[in-house]
Homo-oligomer: A and B are copies of this chain.
C-alpha cells in the first residue's frame, strides 16, 4: 500500500478510537460537548500516527517480517495513541484562549472558547488532559506485553507533556511576546513546545513494544529533526498561507511579535533549513530499510504540507 492509503487507514483507526473513548464517558453535558467539538474535529493526528508507526517499526524489527502489526494487537495501544492526541488537543484549546494566543479560528472552525465560552474551554482542556491519563490507565492490567513497557511509555509521554516539555515551551512562548528575542529563546520554545511531544510519541511507541536502544535512538533523532522541520513549516505557513488554506488566521506570529524562523533567518533560508531537517530525520531511519518506509515518507510529506 502506498503512503497516503496507509495514512488514511491509520487516521480512520485513530478517529474511531477517539470517538469511542470520548463518547462512552459519563459526564456533565456542557464539558463533554466542548471536548467533543475540538477533539473530534478534523485533524492530521500526526502524533498518534507517529506513535503507532514507531510501535510498528519496533514490531517489524523484532519479528523479522514484513507484515504489519495485526489490529488485535494494536487495539491494546490505541488508547495510548488517543491519549497523545487528547494531550495535543487540550494544549490547542488552552493556547487559543484570550489570555494566551487569543485565536478565533482553528482548523477552519471557531475556537473552543468562541463557541462555548472561556470557562467551558478551560474545563474542556482540563478534561482532555485528565482523560488522556484515564484512558491510558483503564485497560493497562490487560496489556499483553510487559506492564513495565507500558508504564515507561506513559512516563515518557507525561514528562514531555509537562513543565519540562510542552508546558515549559508554552510558558516561554508567552514571555517571548514581551521580552527580547534571541536564538536561544527561539530554540527553547520550539524544542519544548512542539518537538518534545512529537519525539515522545515516537519513543513511547517503541517503548510500548520493547525497550530497544537502537530503535529508541533512531526515532529520537528522527523526531527531533522532524519536530523542528514541522515548526519551521508552521512558521512559514503562518507567513505565506491564507485563511482558507490553513483554517485559521495567518500573520499572527508577526502581529504578536513572536520569534519565528522566518523572522530570524528570512523566508528562503527557512525553507532550506526545513529541507535540511527533513533529510536529517530520514537519515536516522536508513539502517531499518523498508521497515521504516512509512516514517520516511511521513517526514518527506511535511515539506508539501499546505496546512
Complex Cα–Cα for A179 and B94 (A)? 26
Report how far A159 CA is from B132 CA in the complex, Å. 11
Q: How far is the CB of A155 from chain B (nearest CB, A)?
A: 4
Q: Does A182 contact B (CB under 8 A)?
A: no
What 0/1 pattern do residues 164 to 202 of A give for CB contact below 8 A with B? 100111111011000000000000100010000000000
Question: A129 to chain B: which residues have CB within 8 Å?
Answer: 126, 129-130
Total number of A residues with any Cβ neighbor in B under 8 Å: 53
Known: A99-B119, A147-B147, A158-B137. A164 touches B26 (CB 8 A): yes
Known A130-B161, A171-B30: A138·B155 in contact at CB below 8 Å: yes
A49 at the interface (CB under 8 A from B): no
Cβ–Cβ contact B151 & A122, under 8 A: no
Q: Which residues of B are found within 8 Å of A130, using beta-carbon distances? A: 129, 158, 161-163, 167
Q: Is A266 an interface residue (CB 8 A)?
A: no
A120 → chain B closest CB, angstroms: 7
Partner pick for A170 among B123, B138, B147, CB 8 A cutoff = B123
Contact B168 A27 (CB under 8 A): yes
B127–A154 CB distance below 8 A: no
A100 interface residue per 8 A CB criterion? yes
Q: Which residues of B contact A60 (CB under 8 A)?
A: none
Instruction: Show the binding face of A for B, using Cβ within 8 Å.
Output: 25-28, 30-32, 35, 90, 94, 97, 99-100, 117-120, 122-123, 125-127, 129-131, 133-134, 137-138, 140-141, 147-148, 151-152, 154-155, 158-159, 161-164, 167-172, 174-175, 188, 192
4 nearest A-B residue pairs (beta carbon): A99-B118, A31-B171, A27-B163, A28-B171
A-B contact sample (4 more), CB < 8 A, given A99-B117, A137-B158, A147-B147: A27-B171, A28-B168, A28-B171, A28-B192
